[in-house]
Chain A
Amino acid sequence: MKTDKFIISNKNFSSRLIVGTGKYKSMQECAKAIKLSGAEIVTVAVRRVNITDKKRPLLMDYIDPKKITYLPNTAGCFNSKEALRTLRLAREIGGWKLVKLEVLGDKKNLFPEMIETLKSTEILTKEGFKVMVYCNDDPLMAKRLENAGACAIMPLAAPIGSGLGIINDINIKIIRKQTKLPLIIDAGLGQASDAAIAMELGCDGVLVNTAIAKAKKPFQMALAFKNAVIAGRQSYLSGRIKKTLYGNPSSPKSGII
């Protein structure tokens, strides 16, 4: 089989599954789930250090940023100013330039605020950031993000944490056809088959957090997502058969006794 490369911002990854590190019961559980998922990129949030509890475990002690690519996000930011501040701080922690931009517009549905997102993408790109952009599934907006310098387009499948799976597969297909940038489904997946569907639509990868972290058995679900992403990608590359309305026998029609 021809080498199937997953390249983001000139870096080659072998796993097309990106996982979030939030919502786990413990750091240990999070670290084990990541290992089982095979993910090489994990999203992380930027927050205040707990000054009062100095013994609180640190994420970096459980997930080694030298082995796993940290993708700092801007979760919780509702405008460009907050997002820029967060990512500049993230870069300062240890030189992170590859970032996930996520500017939300509404606390209930957590949909992205696309005007602020676009504005932030332009500024961050000029500052030398490599910006993977969480966005809605609008092909026109995806194009504008691409023109603004995004290094990956990451449309939602459905609202963050909803587990609804891909709601608008037509738009995802259109975005796939129009862009050569990595296309990664971010948010809204609920089970492993959702990831397989995303990959079969031609997406380059998926980003999953809640579906793994909040599954009854997170470790098993991490494995399931790993396998679903591989299966979906292979299925996409294999070229599926055409759909037909009527049956077509699998065994030869001749030589029937």
Chain B
Amino acid sequence: MKKKIKIKLNGKLKAINNNSTLFNIVQKNKIPLTKVAIELNQEIVDKKKIKSINLKNNDKIEIVHFIGGG
């Protein structure tokens, strides 16, 4: 069995494989990349580079998009 690490995705704790990239998370959650912005540990991530970003234990990912607002 693959070793797991714990990350927080949009405030929710998730256990993922320890060799996961940010791209794996985006793909798994069916995130439409052109319509979101991504932060990793409060740093904005270049969406073009997510395939080469390996996730570590306790990483905090925020994926945001636009919703209705005034």
Give the interface of A toward B (CB within 8 A): 20-24, 27, 30, 43-49, 51-52, 54, 58-60, 70, 72-73, 75, 85, 88-94, 160-161, 187, 207, 209-210
Chain B: residues with Cβ within 8 Å of the partner, total of 26
A30: chain B residues at CB < 8 Å are 68
* In contact, A88 and B44 (Cβ under 8 angstroms): yes
* In contact, B69 and A44 (Cβ under 8 angstroms): yes
Residue B9 lies at the interface, judged by CB distance under 8 Å to chain A: yes
Which of B15-23, B26-34, B51-59 lines the interface with chain A?
Answer: B26-34
User: Contacting B68 at CB < 8 Å: which of A21, A52, A94?
Assistant: A21
User: Contacting B12 at CB < 8 Å: which of A51, A91, A209?
Assistant: A51
A90: chain B residues at CB < 8 Å are 37, 66
Alpha-carbon separation in the docked complex, A47 to B38 (Å): 11
Most B CB contacts (10 A, CB to CB) among A20, A44, A210 go to A44
* In contact, A93 and B29 (Cβ under 8 angstroms): no
Min distance, Cβ B65 to any Cβ of chain A, angstroms: 5
Min distance, Cβ A68 to any Cβ of chain B, angstroms: 12
Residue B35 lies at the interface, judged by CB distance under 8 Å to chain A: yes
25 contacts between A and B (CB under 8 A): A20-B68, A22-B68, A22-B70, A27-B68, A43-B70, A44-B66, A45-B70, A46-B37, A47-B65, A47-B66, A48-B11, A49-B36, A49-B64, A51-B12, A54-B29, A58-B35, A72-B66, A73-B69, A89-B37, A89-B44, A90-B37, A92-B37, A92-B38, A93-B64, A94-B34
